[in-house]
Amino acid sequence: MTLTNQKAVKAVILAAGKGTRMKSDKSKVLHEIFNKPLLGYVLDATEKSGIIDFSYVIVGHQAESVSEFCKKEYPRTTATRLQMPQLGTGHAISFVCEDLKDFDGEVVILCGDTPLIKAETLQEFINKHRENNSSLTVMSAIFDNPTNYGRIVRDANGLKAIVEEKDATPEQKQIKEINAGIYCVNWQEISPAFGELKNNNAQGEYYITDMVKWAVEKGLKTDSFILKNNNEIFGINSKTHLAEATKILNTETIQKHLDNGVQIVDPQTTWISPETEIGTDTLILPNVYITGKNKIGNNCKIGPFAHIRGNVEIDDYVKIGNFVELKKATIKSNTNVCHLSYVGDSEIGSGCNIGAGTITANYNPITKIKSKTIIKDGANTGSNSVIVAPVVMGENSNLAAGSVLTKNLDSNALGLTRAALRVIQNWVKNK
């Protein structure tokens, strides 16, 4: 999509709430889908929009943990601002007013608990705001059952106000157009509202939605942008919601791979993170679980019952057997990693055969250090072998079944640590 008026936009993401219905000590926005916090999905959408260049995250409950996540994962594109005390969403925005006092552009306001929002939708939303020359645009959606959502109230002149469910009249509760909780505002025009909002409502809070009424009273142009896919504004308020959002995201991801030529035998038992790339004609067997960011090539075979945990790159024509676990590993073409094996923090070359039950022992529990295993082209491991990192297996080397490798193995060499077999004749008969 081509963006009109290529000027950078700022984002403000509301992430201060406790989320009491999550029944958890952890911040709601740090609960995870495919090992990524909900907030991470929202921040990814803003970054991938191609126009939002910086996000202010409003923190409150578990502020230190949320801030640490932002600093670690999005150090160049985010800053956190503490809302204390927490007196509502309108009050939250006031904590960026000083940062943005000289900013003359648009600000998009989002919630940190809506992980399904897409970058393309944010692009379209900002474009619509600019094309209409609006001062404020509200993202909305049409719901057959709008219960618990704020209603979009209109009059003959257009958008008039947003009324929260608890404050709505019986007539207003019949409205099916609801507030999606995402806004695009011309900052210099709308920011004065956050110093003038009132808290005369059922909750005694300062609602961000009241800025619509404020803008209308000031004679500013307000509009709405009706969402095409209502799933995108699915908010997470409970563990049930978390499970539902995970399923929605997985269904979308699986459909994308099916459309792109990946064979997925049983979509109902297959879970694939949206950051995973998979090549054409790759076969995904049932009960495969893939999290994190991964790249799987063409004509591979994965599973059944395989677990890929992130930072995994698999070249073409690779077989990953049943009950295999991979983490932070690269596997070159035409290699087999057979059943019941664990490969972590490893590089495996082309044409290798990793025997059943092979373990790369990458973690030292005393030093807390993870070390790397390198297995070069054509090398093979026998069943029930253990490779204690850091170690290198040279090209075409072989590790015998039942062996424990603790030092480098030269090319074309055989590593063998198996004890000599002792045979006691007639032992069973004598017993």
* Predicted TM-score of the model (pTM): 0.92
Q: Read off the pLDDT of each residue in 144-161 and give the average, rounded to a whole number.
A: 89
Domains and CATH numbers, the chain: 9-233 (3.90.550.10), 260-415 (2.160.10.10)
Q: Is the pLDDT of residue 4 over 70?
A: no
Q: Read off the pLDDT of each residue in 254-258 and give the average, rounded to a whole number.
A: 98
- One-letter amino acid for residue 212 of the chain: V
pLDDT category, 6, cuts 50, 70, 90? low
Is 345:329 a contact under the CB 8 Å cutoff?
Answer: yes
Among residues 139, 95, 145, 86, which one has the least CA distance to residue 117? Answer: 139
Q: Which residues are catalytic?
A: 339
pLDDT category, 419, cuts 50, 70, 90? confident
pLDDT tens for 194-226 read 999 988 877 788 989 899 999 999 999 999 999
The total of other beta-carbon atoms located within 10 Å of residue 415's CB is 23
Q: Read off the pLDDT of each residue in 215-240 and give the average, rounded to a whole number.
A: 95
Q: What integer best gives the mean pLDDT of the chain?
A: 95
Phi, psi of 46 (to 5 degrees): -65, -45
| Coil, strand or helix at 102 | coil
Is 272:278 a contact under the CB 8 Å cutoff?
Answer: yes
Q: Is the pLDDT of residue 33 over 70?
A: yes
pLDDT of residue 111: 97
pLDDT of residue 231: 96
In the chain, count H helices and then E strands. Answer: 8, 35
Q: Rounded to whole angstroms, how far apart are CA atoms 316 and 334?
A: 7
pLDDT of residue 1: 46
pLDDT tens for 318-377 read 999 999 999 999 999 999 998 999 999 999 999 999 999 999 999 999 999 999 999 999
Contacts of 23 (CB under 8 A, 6+ apart): 238, 239
Q: Is the pLDDT of residue 390 over 90?
A: yes
pLDDT of residue 2: 45
Q: Is 73 left (phi over 0), alpha (psi -120 to 50) or beta?
A: alpha
Contacts of 259 (CB under 8 A, 6+ apart): none
- Pair type for strands 319-320 and 398-399: unpaired
pLDDT of residue 156: 79
Helix ranges (H only) for 22-172 are 38-48, 63-73, 89-93, 119-131
